[in-house]
Every structure is written in C-alpha cells, then in structure tokens.
Amino acid sequence: MNVDVLILAVMGVTGMVGSFTGAKQTVRVSSVTMRLVIAIMLAATTPLVVVRIFSDYLN
C-alpha cells in the first residue's frame, strides 16, 4: 500500500484551515446563503464527476 505523505500533509493542512474558516463563517453568513453556496458547488461538480465516471467506464 503506497501512501503519498506530501499529498496527505497538504490535504490535512488545507482541510484544517478550511474547517476553521468555515466555522468562523457560519456566524457571519446566513444559513440560506450557506445552503445556496453548497448547492451551487454540488451542481457545478456533479456533472464533472459523472462525465469522468462514464469516460473511465467506457474505456
């Protein structure tokens, strides 16, 4: 089992920073706006994931 320590470290640090920033923003941003942002992010990434899945499946 290969573990890329550099990617693990980068993802860990950015995850902690993102969690801290998100926790701070929950007080400043309304829940409706937060839900809208999350919905837009999911709507933007879902087609990319689906295309990637089917392009790998067909090959």
Question: Is 34 domain-assigned?
Answer: yes
Question: Is 51 domain-assigned?
Answer: yes
Question: Is 11 domain-assigned?
Answer: no
Domain count, the chain: 1
Q: Which of 26, 50, 28, 27 is nearest to 38 (CA)?
A: 26
Question: Is 28 domain-assigned?
Answer: yes
- The CA-to-CA distance between both ends of the chain, in Å, stands at 25
Question: Could you read off the pLDDT of 25-54 as tens digits, one per residue?
Answer: 888 888 898 899 999 999 999 999 999 888
pLDDT at residue 11 in the model:
95
pLDDT at residue 59 in the model:
62
Instruction: Evaluate if residue 14 carries a pLDDT over 90.
Output: yes
Question: Is 10 domain-assigned?
Answer: no
pLDDT at residue 56 in the model:
74
Give pTM, 2 decimals: 0.55
Q: Which of 51, 25, 57, 50 is nearest to 38 (CA)?
A: 25
Question: Is 53 domain-assigned?
Answer: yes
Domain holding 45, by residue range, is 24-59
